[in-house]
Amino acid sequence: MARLSPATLAIAALVGLANVGVVFALYARGDYPALEPTAELAVLALTTFVVGVLPWFASAHTRLVTPALGFLGALAGTVFLELTTPAPEWSRLGEYVVVDGPTHASSYANAWYVWLALLTVAGVLEFAIRRGYGIGDDRLRNLPTLPFSRDRLVRTVGAVAALVGLAATLLVLRSGIRPPAAAAVVFLFAAVVTAIPLAALLARGIVAPTVLFALVPYFLIYEVFVTTDSPLHILLFGPYAVVLALAWALEEAIRSRLGGWNGGRFAGQKPA
């Protein structure tokens, strides 16, 4: 196991603290009630810190760029939305807090599991493309080589897909999906639609499903900030997984017949 650099850990911790500082500043600007000294404040600080630390640490330790850039993009987008939309107005109705207006800062902070899941997918896809196609491959650090064994492939794809499935499930439960049992279907569909591009790329170097997969994080991020009344549209991930599978089969057929593609590094072969 590679030794962890103290400098890497220190920088990641500073980024985590900076993320906490930005979120707290946005909360203070919008008079969010979560800044009251309660247990919720501690949870908010912890999850916000983790969202800053893990992507930055992953990028610093492996030289992958998407985890850090993705985190910065999510944070910058949140700041932009918060500063360019009307501040929320808070009131109380009995024991309930009522808000009028968008609460982008809390949407970002409370969806920490979505950011971690999506940034994990981005990192794995970047690794596969760079390692398999030799794009800046020599600059990667502390990462395995290709091809993956069948066992490692199944474990990697399964773990990352389950992470996205769990994030999607928590998101729709927070949005109030009805009936709640439908959340189990969301988990299955989100996991499958994530597993297909990961498996296609890691096992065979097929990129079309990865390109088409971009719609999945789009809908998840949309749900984070808009929180629709009925998040059942995420159930479309199931049929969309079929589209990704067909794209995999089509690209592989075209590349193998016209270009003699045999999987290259992804399958432990020399390009034909």
Beta bridge partners of 96: 93
59 neighbors 68 (Cβ within 8 angstroms): yes
Give 59-113 pLDDT, tens digit per residue. Answer: 999 999 999 999 999 999 999 999 999 888 877 777 777 777 789 999 999 999 9
For residue 159, the model assigns a pLDDT of 98
Q: What is each CA distance from 2 to 68, 114, 144, in whole angstroms?
A: 20, 28, 12
Tokens of 231: 């998040």
CB atoms within 10 A of CB 9: 14
Q: Looking at the chain, how many residues does it have? A: 272
- For residues 55 and 64, what is the distance between their CA atoms, to the nearest angstrom? 10
Place of tokens 């009925």: 230
- For residues 212 and 115, what is the distance between their CA atoms, to the nearest angstrom? 19
- For residues 21 and 256, what is the distance between their CA atoms, to the nearest angstrom? 52
The full 3-state SS of the chain, as one line of letters, equals CCCCCHHHHHHHHHHHHHHHHHHHHHHHHCCCHHHCCCHHHHHHHHHHHHHHHHHHHHHHHHCCCHHHHHHHHHHHHHHHHHHHCCCCEEEEECCEEEEECCCHHHHHHHCHHHHHHHHHHHHHHHHHHHHHHCCCHHHCCCCCCCCCCHHHHHHHHHHHHHHHHHHHHHHHHHHCCCCCCHHHHHHHHHHHHHHHHHHHHHHHCCCHHHHHCCHHHHHHHHHHHHCCCCHHHHHHHHHHHHHHHHHHHHHHHHHHHHCCCCCHHHHCCCCC
pLDDT beneath 70, residues of the chain = 1-2, 34-37, 227-230, 271-272
| pTM of this structure | 0.94
Q: What are phi and psi of 146, to 5 degrees?
A: -105, 150
Give 171-194 pLDDT, tens digit per residue. Answer: 988 877 777 788 899 999 999 999
